[in-house]
Structure 1
Amino acid sequence: MSKDNKPIGPSQRMLRVGELVRHALAAIFARGDVEDDALRGSVITVPEVRMTPDLKIANAYIMPLGGMHAEEIVAALNRHRKFIRGRVAPQINMKFAPEMRFYVDDTFEEAGRIDSLLRSDRVQRDLDGDEDESQD
């Protein structure tokens, strides 16, 4: 809780709607409903959809399988976002369909960067130093 007793982070409703939108997007991409040369032959995953507190904007983080041409695919999806919104609307059963915004999901890249840092010689040396001190 924050100082003014408001919850920190997304609400349950934001998480629930984000998950509904994520499933709808995954189904649309699996069926190949969006026709664009940049998307042809691409398998697109949707690891996360973050909703704004008013549920009017869905920020969808996507990653093509293998990570190839991610920026081009995001640009293509953003070009077709009104069409995609129209396909998502009937699947999520809400009064208003959220506006779609697509971004490249960099969580795998960030996790890899953190993993390589943890495996670095400098960190390993520090960890080995801690073990020596604990044996004293």
Structure 2
Amino acid sequence: MLRPERLEDQVHFLLSTLVQRELRDPELGFVTLTAVRLSPDRSVAKVYFTVLPANGGDQEAQDGFTRKALGRAAGFLRSQLATRLKMKRVPELRFFPDGTLEEGNHLETLLTEIEKERATRPVEPETEP
């Protein structure tokens, strides 16, 4: 039996390949699967994705469209995984938008603001005790 991390990587690779090459749903847009996390009993796979909004559109709306499109394709994706993986039971696929990119951008913005604030402050001389 494969270790959980290796199995997650294998499922991630297979799903990414299938989504890019086999799915033809226009609501998918430019989707990238970023991670797969299996439940301890391996019955559920949480699949995280990012998607570029079409024409600078609303990110949340695009995430919703993409999640629905991936949900519609879940049965097909599971059946394809079943033919390629050596598992007794192929996990149920659940799709979630990956918020780490937005979180990273927010942190970068905060750090930039802190740096600007530090640059505008006058330097106070240090006093020795």
- TM-score where L is the length of structure 2: 0.76
User: Which whole-Å CA distance do the structure 2 matches of 1:83 and 1:134 have between them?
Assistant: 67
Deviation for aligned residue 1:132? 6.1
2:111 aligned with 1:118: yes
Which amino acid is the alignment partner of residue 53 of structure 1?
Answer: P
2:37 aligned with 1:44: no
- Specify every segment of 5 or more residues in structure 2 that has no aligned partner in the other structure, as ranges: 55-61
Deviation for aligned residue 1:112? 0.4
Change (3 A) 1:103 1:135: farther
Equivalent residues, number: 119
Q: 49, 66, 69: which is aligned to 1:62?
A: 49
2:85 aligned with 1:85: no
Local SS of the residue matching 1:34: coil
Cα-Cα RMSD: 2.9
Change (3 A) 1:116 1:96: same
2:9 aligns with 19
Deviation for aligned residue 1:134? 7.6
1:7 aligns with none
Q: Percent identity, aligned pairs only?
A: 28
